[in-house]
Chain A
């Protein structure tokens, strides 16, 4: 009898341990928090979206909102503030009305109105006047007989690092904000910026927004200070006694929005796998490096076909849609952005420049025309990169291989985007 009791005690102990483990496993660090996806990496093909999912949420004062970013190679911020609200009050209706149209169909005065509002905000990829662009810097350097120091424009640290400005103007000197302690968001701040959402893993890079208990119910728009007004969302704070969607219902809404936005990509991806895509009424066939769709605010980051077979010294040509690179023998650690010891964020210039003997990139005379580049030949050894290429139309890039072998290659600014070349003798 005593033995049985002892045995029962042992199994109770083991059972208790198991239950404790299961309970601990089930517990989520923020199980009740509403989650907003910033960008999204789709499971059927690699994607990048300049969007928030969902782009409209409801919260109560005192709630925490988790902004979760998949690392697709693109930095994002979550930026609130009275300045943001003012700019978006103008731009959100414009985007809704004209955002789906091709640029040449948007009236110029609308563009001006849009830019006027957006240029009140710090935006990294901005069309506003600011520090000299890459080409301008290169031109000035050439005139002065020196090489430009950076291939990427300097990064405004009030965008890249957290920034809180309670009131007054947003600094434009490119330096870091004096106050980087964000605290709970109460809606009265002039500028409340997460900074680049910190990279932890390919998934689950999180910025937690704490909504202050004292916030006044109302609508609080937010945007991404990297990509500008086009990437925006709205957080509506409602009184605590008013019901709101549960985190799971918000996730269902997110999934619906994702399914909707990914459908055009699914079609263009299927076409590309079939060897031919139709874009803007024009048919393209061959090897594709990235794909786009006019209806989607994002990129499809895939090499199609994933494996290309060729022969030694035969030209291989890619049609490149969106900014990409074609890079072989990629170094083991090759970050797009670096965080320095003092917290400042810098871009890795080596990513953007050609390497290993690839030709220098020349600015196209007419950016609306395709950029045609002959990349020469690669002998199969050592880091080689086309550099990051982009044209408003598309880039046609040709390369030959002088040594037989199987080579994997990648786009340096889109980490999951890889392909394989099989070169026979």
Chain B
């Protein structure tokens, strides 16, 4: 009986442990880049890193990379763009996981976005390249690419309904997916040692968007639901520029512009053109996903947005009230710090209790306001139910009650079909 849930819990635990680990890895890469940026403007920090780097071991390598790379950090605009890209990806990943923590499509997307945040940050990647990789670092780098690539490919195959495409029987889909996995892993292992930029180009530049675009094209032609088609169309058009860009780049340049012409020497030579070209094209994918989720209210996002908005407004309102209270007190009593009303602990406690007490009524009123203003259907449903409850107090005729119930259900639930069964009272046999 408990085998199923126990297995789910184990899988969930493993996934979240892996996700946290992957997130930490990605953050580590970003922090490494940030260290170099700080060192480039702070001689004291630069010197500290060098002293740390004179030791040996993991942290010495981290410090040396950051200190050495600090002399060639990109321009401020490029750094801002790199980190904006990364944080948008990371933010969206955490948000997706929070929204749909049990949904495997959301989980895969979250993994993919976390990977992309680290992989496509040139400021950080250039720092990593500064020292040749140890075998462990090479393994971590390859693993990070494989995870991000596979997660992206499969997330786009499953998005948004979690049903794999093509809609074949599992016996036919599984070999296809297994083959795809093998190709991705093989390409990654084959190319990683020779040209990391080539891997990036094949993996993220071509394979991810091409697979995603193909999957969404399949959905457009094989989904009858108009909303589903619109979702697929949005994602398809967002992926297409990346596919086109990858193909054009490959035709025009092959891998030559990213190959190191002085092979065998460890000369940091980050593929700036490749990164800078692909970043905007690749940034379209998470943006399109987010827009799709918002526009088509996938994964109950409207409930989350509604709740976030209500709490934000209620909190802001009460904060404003408190601030207003302080200002008024200041005007009436002079210096705030010296005011016994503000400074005394009982006053603070009373104010806090008042605010806590006011929170719920305020939140309810804000909820009504938001529903009335932005979520008309929900507001109408609520009003209709309230009116029905009121009518029941006065209605005594069963036929009238049934008619009204029928009317309310249609209005609130909007079912395709409705039938109502009223049980006949069983006549009691005389004593």
Of the listed stretches A9-17, A223-231, A311-319, A340-348, name the one at the interface; the rest are far from the partner chain. A9-17
Say if the beta carbon of A136 comes within 8 Å of chain B.
no
Of the listed stretches B13-21, B88-96, B119-127, B318-326, name the one at the interface; the rest are far from the partner chain. B13-21
A410 B262 Cβ-Cβ under 8 A? yes
**Most chain A beta carbons < 10 A, residue from B56, B61, B261:** B56
With a cutoff of 8 Å between Cβ atoms, the chain B residues found around residue A21 in the complex are 21, 24
B264 A30 Cβ-Cβ under 8 A? no
If A18-B20, A201-B131, A333-B264 touch, whether A28 touches B51 (CB-CB below 8 Å) is: no
With a cutoff of 8 Å between Cβ atoms, the chain A residues found around residue B21 in the complex are 17-18, 21
Considering only residues 19-68 of chain A, those with a C-beta below 8 Å from chain B are: 21, 25-31, 33, 35, 37, 43-44, 66, 68
B265 A35 Cβ-Cβ under 8 A? no
- State in angstroms the CA–CA spacing of A252 and B267 once bound together: 27
A35 B71 Cβ-Cβ under 8 A? no
Partner of A14, one of B16, B71, B261: B16
- State in angstroms the CA–CA spacing of A321 and B249 once bound together: 42
B57 A30 Cβ-Cβ under 8 A? yes
Of the listed stretches A120-128, A202-210, A288-296, name the one at the interface; the rest are far from the partner chain. A202-210
Say if the beta carbon of A377 comes within 8 Å of chain B.
no
**Closest chain B residue to A6 by CB distance?**
B9
A416 B267 Cβ-Cβ under 8 A? yes
Say if the beta carbon of A198 comes within 8 Å of chain B.
no
With a cutoff of 8 Å between Cβ atoms, the chain A residues found around residue B20 in the complex are 14, 18
A408 B9 Cβ-Cβ under 8 A? no
**Most chain A beta carbons < 10 A, residue from B21, B59, B262:** B262
**Closest chain A residue to B10 by CB distance?**
A10
B55 A28 Cβ-Cβ under 8 A? yes
- State in angstroms the CA–CA spacing of A415 and B263 once bound together: 11
With a cutoff of 8 Å between Cβ atoms, the chain A residues found around residue B9 in the complex are 6, 10
Partner of A330, one of B16, B57, B131, B262: B262
- State in angstroms the CA–CA spacing of A395 and B71 once bound together: 31
If A44-B71, A255-B47, A255-B50 touch, whether A28 touches B58 (CB-CB below 8 Å) is: yes
- State in angstroms the CA–CA spacing of A6 and B9 once bound together: 9
Q: Is the interface of A mostly helix, strand, loop or mixed?
A: mixed
If A201-B134, A415-B266 touch, whether A31 touches B57 (CB-CB below 8 Å) is: yes
- State in angstroms the CA–CA spacing of A415 and B57 once bound together: 23
If A330-B262, A334-B264 touch, whether A13 touches B55 (CB-CB below 8 Å) is: no
Say if the beta carbon of A179 comes within 8 Å of chain B.
no
**Closest chain B residue to A15 by CB distance?**
B20
The interface bits of chain B over 209-227 (1 if a CB of A lies within 8 angstroms of the residue's CB, else 0) are: 0000000000000000000
If A10-B9, A43-B68, A410-B265 touch, whether A202 touches B131 (CB-CB below 8 Å) is: yes
**Closest chain A residue to B5 by CB distance?**
A6
A255 B131 Cβ-Cβ under 8 A? no
The interface bits of chain B over 40-68 (1 if a CB of A lies within 8 angstroms of the residue's CB, else 0) are: 00000001001110111111110010011
A254 B17 Cβ-Cβ under 8 A? no
Task: Looking at the assembled complex, report how far the CB atom of A307 sits from the nearest CB atom of chain B, in whole angstroms.
Answer: 14
Task: Looking at the assembled complex, report how far the CB atom of A264 sits from the nearest CB atom of chain B, in whole angstroms.
Answer: 19
**Closest chain A residue to B263 by CB distance?**
A332
Q: Is the interface of B mostly helix, strand, loop or mixed?
A: helix
Say if the beta carbon of A247 comes within 8 Å of chain B.
yes
Q: How many A residues, CB 8 Å from partner?
A: 42
Partner of A332, one of B56, B59, B264: B264
With a cutoff of 8 Å between Cβ atoms, the chain A residues found around residue B134 in the complex are 201
Task: Looking at the assembled complex, report how far the CB atom of B334 sits from the nearest CB atom of chain A, in whole angstroms.
Answer: 49
**Closest chain B residue to A33 by CB distance?**
B56
Task: Looking at the assembled complex, report how far the CB atom of B195 sits from the nearest CB atom of chain A, in whole angstroms.
Answer: 13
A13 B67 Cβ-Cβ under 8 A? no
Say if the beta carbon of A113 comes within 8 Å of chain B.
no
- State in angstroms the CA–CA spacing of A29 and B60 once bound together: 11
Say if the beta carbon of B300 comes within 8 Å of chain A.
no
Partner of A26, one of B50, B56, B58, B261: B58
With a cutoff of 8 Å between Cβ atoms, the chain A residues found around residue B57 in the complex are 27-31
A13 B56 Cβ-Cβ under 8 A? no
B266 A202 Cβ-Cβ under 8 A? yes
With a cutoff of 8 Å between Cβ atoms, the chain B residues found around residue A35 in the complex are 54-56
**Closest chain B residue to A29 by CB distance?**
B57
**Most chain A beta carbons < 10 A, residue from B20, B64, B67, B261:** B261
A206 B56 Cβ-Cβ under 8 A? yes
Say if the beta carbon of B179 comes within 8 Å of chain A.
no
Partner of A416, one of B16, B54, B131, B265: B265
The interface bits of chain A over 303-335 (1 if a CB of B lies within 8 angstroms of the residue's CB, else 0) are: 000000000000000000000000000111110
With a cutoff of 8 Å between Cβ atoms, the chain A residues found around residue B71 in the complex are 43-44
With a cutoff of 8 Å between Cβ atoms, the chain B residues found around residue A251 in the complex are 51-52, 54-55
- State in angstroms the CA–CA spacing of A21 and B21 once bound together: 9
Say if the beta carbon of B391 comes within 8 Å of chain A.
no
Say if the beta carbon of A248 comes within 8 Å of chain B.
yes
Task: Looking at the assembled complex, report how far the CB atom of B238 sits from the nearest CB atom of chain A, in whole angstroms.
Answer: 33
Task: Looking at the assembled complex, report how far the CB atom of B19 sits from the nearest CB atom of chain A, in whole angstroms.
Answer: 9
Say if the beta carbon of B12 comes within 8 Å of chain A.
yes
**Closest chain A residue to B50 by CB distance?**
A255
- State in angstroms the CA–CA spacing of A10 and B132 once bound together: 37
Say if the beta carbon of A83 comes within 8 Å of chain B.
no
Task: Looking at the assembled complex, report how far the CB atom of B305 sits from the nearest CB atom of chain A, in whole angstroms.
Answer: 26
With a cutoff of 8 Å between Cβ atoms, the chain B residues found around residue A416 in the complex are 265-267
Task: Looking at the assembled complex, report how far the CB atom of B357 sits from the nearest CB atom of chain A, in whole angstroms.
Answer: 28
Considering only residues 402-422 of chain A, those with a C-beta below 8 Å from chain B are: 408, 410, 415-416, 418
With a cutoff of 8 Å between Cβ atoms, the chain B residues found around residue A27 in the complex are 57
Task: Looking at the assembled complex, report how far the CB atom of A38 sits from the nearest CB atom of chain B, in whole angstroms.
Answer: 12
With a cutoff of 8 Å between Cβ atoms, the chain A residues found around residue B24 in the complex are 18, 21
With a cutoff of 8 Å between Cβ atoms, the chain A residues found around residue B265 in the complex are 330, 410, 415-416, 418
Considering only residues 55-85 of chain B, those with a C-beta below 8 Å from chain A are: 55-61, 64, 67-68, 70-71
With a cutoff of 8 Å between Cβ atoms, the chain A residues found around residue B131 in the complex are 201-203
Task: Looking at the assembled complex, report how far the CB atom of A418 sits from the nearest CB atom of chain B, in whole angstroms.
Answer: 6
**Closest chain A residue to B58 by CB distance?**
A25
- State in angstroms the CA–CA spacing of A309 and B101 once bound together: 58
With a cutoff of 8 Å between Cβ atoms, the chain B residues found around residue A28 in the complex are 55-60
- State in angstroms the CA–CA spacing of A14 and B24 once bound together: 12
The interface bits of chain B over 243-264 (1 if a CB of A lies within 8 angstroms of the residue's CB, else 0) are: 0000000000000000001111
Apart from A35-B54, A330-B264: 6 A-B pairs, beta carbons within 8 A: A17-B17, A18-B24, A43-B71, A254-B54, A408-B261, A418-B265
Q: 7 closest A-B pairs (Cβ-Cβ)?
A: A28-B57, A251-B54, A43-B68, A332-B263, A14-B17, A10-B13, A332-B264
* CB pairs A–B below 8 angstroms (15 shown): A10-B12, A13-B13, A14-B17, A18-B20, A27-B57, A28-B58, A28-B60, A29-B57, A30-B56, A35-B54, A37-B54, A43-B68, A202-B132, A248-B51, A416-B265
- Residues of B bordering A, CB below 8 Å: 9, 12-13, 16-17, 20-21, 24, 47, 50-52, 54-61, 64, 67-68, 70-71, 131-132, 134, 261-267
